[in-house]
Amino acid sequence: MSKTPLVYKIAYKISGKGIYNPLVKLVKDYEPLGVGVDIGSGYGLAAELISNSFERLYLVDLDYEMARAAKKRLKNHSNVEVIVADSRNVPLPDSFADLVYFFDSLHHMPLAEKALSEAIRITKPSGRLAILDLDGDHPFAKFISFLERSSGLHPRPLSLDKIIEFLTSRNFSIVKAKVDIFGMFDVLALKENTSQK
């Protein structure tokens, strides 16, 4: 078993399901949803709470053990499919999903901008992209990153400003962007439908 799953298994057991409240609220605000994609889905804990809001929900994670655990956790959710794949090369078609999201995963991805580009590619026009992650500029988030590095992980959190700049330069409008006192940001962006212009 790799070190990453053990660290996250412990962290999410301690934090409880309340950590997912921002994502649950976001999904509830827009349900019912057609197709969703969770990039960096880990154990499928977030998906377990929101899967009933989607016709289909795809979980994408590079770690085989985490993906296997997610598949086991969600075996009774017939609308969920778990895919073992790199976030920089997601095996889903262009303009595929109504909602693509990263929950506490983007800062663990090497070349996070490439993972964001893939998320943009698979988001439908007028679809939404949500990112809930560490703000690389926030002092508490820097402390969390230090702790993660001490555990053998390799976090590379981007700043909220960089995320916003990246999305707005690629035909997304920002619906919501905020940072909490713990340095977790919450961004919701809408992909503009350029074919209607």
CATH number for 51? 3.40.50.150
CA dihedral 143, 37, 131, 20 (to 10 degrees): -60
Query: Which structural domain, as residue segments, surrounds residue 143?
Result: 3-196
Query: What does the pLDDT look like over 72-130, one tens digit per residue?
Result: 999 999 999 999 999 999 999 999 999 999 998 998 888 999 999 999 999 999 999 99
Strand order through the sheet with 172-179: 80-84, 54-61, 33-39, 97-103, 123-134, 184-191, 172-179
Asked if 58 and 35 count as a contact pair (C-beta separation under 8 A), the reply is yes
Number of separate domains in the chain: 1
Residues linked to residue 190 through DSSP beta bridges, in sequence order:
128, 173
More confident residue, 31 or 134: 134
Secondary structure (3-state) at 121: helix
Instruction: Provide CB contacts within 8 A for 141, sequence distance 6+.
Output: 134, 135, 157, 182, 183, 184
Query: What does the pLDDT look like over 178-191, one tens digit per residue?
Result: 998 888 899 999 99
